[in-house]
Amino acid sequence: MMRSKSSHSNRRSGVALVTVGLAMTVLVPAIGLGIDGASLYIIRARLSQGVDAGVLAGAQSLNVGQDIASQTANATAVATKYFYANFPTGLWGTSSPSVAVSVTQNDTTHLRSVAMTASVTAPLYFMNIVNINSSVVGLSATATRRDINIMIVLDRSYSMVLGNALGPMKSASSWFVSQFASGRDKVGLEVFGGGSYVAYSPSVNFATDSPNVSTLISELVGGGATNTSQALWLAYQQLVALDEPGALNAILLFTDGRPTALTGTFPVSPTTPCTYKSQRTGMITYFFDSNENPVAVGGLFQPIDTSITDVNTESMVANYSGGCAANWGGTNFYPNSTNVPQDVSAIPSADIYGNGTNTGYQPVTLTAVSQTTTIDAASINAADSAATRIRSDTNLVPVIYTIGLGGTTKWPPQAAFMQRISNDPASPTFNPAQPAGMYVYSPTYAQLQWAFEQIASQLLRLSQ
């Protein structure tokens, strides 16, 4: 019996329809699931962006406020604001947003954390086929801020006065102080010229004490040489006294010139006409002429004037009265450029803090006391040694930041020296085994605000 072609064709068409129907039954949900999955992926990515932005901004804003409660409230508000800025309500059809922010602190580890948990209800379009209309997408993130202990060390040498730079320095450094968290961070202040004065030991009350750090900065006057090694070492001792290895321990050194002085215990020449033959501790420096050229050793000054109790007076002053009489606590010396070279037989190999004067950086002949280049090289070496020793503290792991100001003297900070002090990664002598700091150069005082901003940004980034 013969079959018609029409009957055979109809049978094949029926099979094809069944096959297409089965395929569509499988493919349509699969395609729908893929589309919904892609939509959920995009929503989750944007939600992650919002949560990350929120906790980072919240942690960075923990410095705003005079106490912990106000700082916590501010961080919560900022974190929430940044979340919604990155994930607006209703984005991609989402609904029922939920955002929770918490701020915790640990006094032992010196850590504060801003945590955020956020969720939204995301619509599903193709999964309606199986009566699934939406899905909840949720994420959490945490950003941690480490408390900062910082000594701000400001050069107020006489060149700052001549260069009209005291005012801009006061303004920029006061702004810098405001970037830290009152009640948590500890900020201290040291000023230096020929000698150093710790005006304020680091404390969490730096913004609320009377006088506070910003007030003390506003009272600064200029004067003196540039005793950088003493300034660095006394600042470090303030961090040592705190002994908080969990915090970010830092020193910010601002200066407008190269080191010109050091404090040591000097051997007395046996040929001095004075009767006082014992070694003497004091600060030695050199003088400049009217053209700012170093011309003579400036004198051996008394190491500390304990009567100085504020930031308005040079804390290591010269005493010029008398000659070989007992004019300086029984020293019987003329502390001037004529007599010091004949009274002092050599520069000591280390200052009174143990910082080397003849190793590591500049060649020097310590017995050539009458030469200004000797004091110059020894002062630079002592500061370089102090910075190296400070960064070698594996307990506190101190980081040193430096700002150099130009335009006030013919002897501005040397970039290579300042980079060595801070162990800036740009330095040819960068030591990766020690904490890396940062050197910022301000060509004139007009750029000082910018320079302090660079250091503040780096410090706050490292604290995260």
Burial class (CB in 10 A: 0-12, 13-18, 19+), 295: middle
Is the predicted pLDDT of residue 33 greater than 70, yes or no? no
Which range among 14-28, 259-273, 430-444 shows the weakest confidence by mean pLDDT? Answer: 14-28
**Whether the predicted pLDDT of 331 surpasses 90:** no
- The Cα-based distances of 115 to 102, 390, 395 in angstroms read 5, 35, 29
Res. 440: pLDDT tops 50: yes
How far, in Å, CA of 141 to CA of 442, rounded? 38
| Structure-model confidence comparison of residues 216 and 33, the more confident one | 216
Query: 287 in a domain, yes or no?
Result: no
Are residue 376 and residue 452 in the same domain, yes or no?
Answer: yes
Burial code (b: 16+ CB inside 10 Å, e: under 16) for 386-416 equals bbbbbbebeebebbbbbbbbbbbbebbbeee
pLDDT by residue (tens digit) across 223-233? 888 999 999 99
The 10s digit of each residue's pLDDT in 393-433 is 999 999 999 999 999 998 899 999 999 999 999 999 999 99
Q: Residue 277 has what pLDDT?
A: 67
Is the per-residue pLDDT at 445 higher than 80? yes
Q: Higher pLDDT residue, 66 or 133?
A: 133
CA 334, 340, 346, 349 torsion: positive or negative?
A: positive
User: Which residues constitute the domain of residue 383?
Assistant: 148-260+351-463
State which of 12-16, 256-260, 270-274 shows the largest mean pLDDT: 256-260
Percentage of residues in the chain having pLDDT higher than 70: 81
Residue 195 has a pLDDT of: 80
Q: Is 17 among the domain residues?
A: no
Give per-residue burial for 317-333: e unless 16+ CB within 10 Å, then b: bbbeeeebeebbeebbb
414/33 Cα distance (integer angstroms): 65
- pLDDT tens digit string along 136-175? 999 999 888 889 999 999 999 889 989 999 999 999 999 9
- Could you tell me if 51 and 74 lie in one domain? yes
Q: Is residue 68 part of a domain?
A: yes
Total number of domains in the chain: 2
Grade residue 321 by pLDDT with cuts at 50, 70 and 90: very low
Q: Are 66 and 180 contained in the same domain?
A: no
Q: Which tokens hold the place of 55?
A: 């906790």
Same domain, 166 and 73: no
pLDDT tens sequence across 283-320: 888 878 778 888 877 666 655 444 445 555 543 333 33
- Average pLDDT of the chain, as a whole number: 83
Contact 241, 390 (CB under 8 A): no
Question: Can you give the pLDDT at residue 172?
Answer: 97
Assess whether pLDDT exceeds 90 at residue 217.
Answer: yes
Distance CA 168, CA 387 (A): 26
Which of 145, 171, 203 lies at the terminal end of a domain, its last residue?
145
CA distance 272 to 20: 114
Query: What is the percent of the chain where pLDDT is above 90?
Result: 52
Same domain assignment for residues 131 and 38: yes
pLDDT level of residue 215 (50, 70, 90 thresholds): very high
Residues 6+ apart with CB under 8 A from 334: 320, 322, 323, 324, 340, 343
Regarding whether 61 and 160 lie in a shared domain, the answer is no
Mean of pLDDT values over 4-8? 49
Average pLDDT over residues 335-358: 85
Instruction: Tell me the C-alpha distance between 106 and 147, whole Å.
Output: 10
Could you tell me if residue 299 is left (phi over 0), alpha (psi between -120 and 50 degrees) or otherwise beta? left
Judgement on whether residues 50 and 75 belong to the same structural domain of the protein: yes
User: Regarding predicted confidence, which is higher, 390 or 112?
Assistant: 390
CB–CB of 157/222 below 8 Å?
A: yes
What mean pLDDT comes out for the span 115-128?
A: 87
- Whether 411 maps to a domain, the answer reads yes
387 and 447 share a domain? yes
What is the C-alpha separation between 36 and 57, in angstroms, rounded?
A: 32
82 band by pLDDT with thresholds 50, 70 and 90: very high
19 band by pLDDT with thresholds 50, 70 and 90: very low
Band of pLDDT at residue 274, cut at 50, 70 and 90: low
Residue indicated by tokens 């919240």: 58
Place of tokens 């700052």: 160
Q: What CATH number does residue 398 fall under?
A: 3.40.50.410
Sheet holding 111-123, edge to edge: 95-106, 111-123, 134-146
Q: Last residue of a domain, which of 95, 115, 145? A: 145
- Tell me: do 170 and 231 sit in the same domain: yes
Looking at the fold, whether 141 and 152 belong to one and the same domain comes out as no
340 pLDDT more than 90: no
Average of per-residue pLDDT across 98-114: 86
Q: Are residues 219 and 70 in the same domain?
A: no
Does the residue 240 lie in any domain? yes
Look at residue 128 and tell me whether its pLDDT is greater than 80.
Answer: no
Question: For the whole model, what pTM was predicted?
Answer: 0.78
Q: Which of 145, 160, 189 is the last residue of a domain?
A: 145
* Residue 266, domain member (yes or no): no
Same domain, 88 and 165: no
Whole-number Å distance between alpha carbons of 423 and 389: 12
Residue 382 to residue 316: CA distance in whole angstroms: 18
Residue 434 inside a domain? The answer is yes
Tell me if 236 is assigned to some domain. Answer: yes
What is Dmax (Cα atoms) for the chain?
A: 147
For residue 279, pLDDT over 90 is answered with no
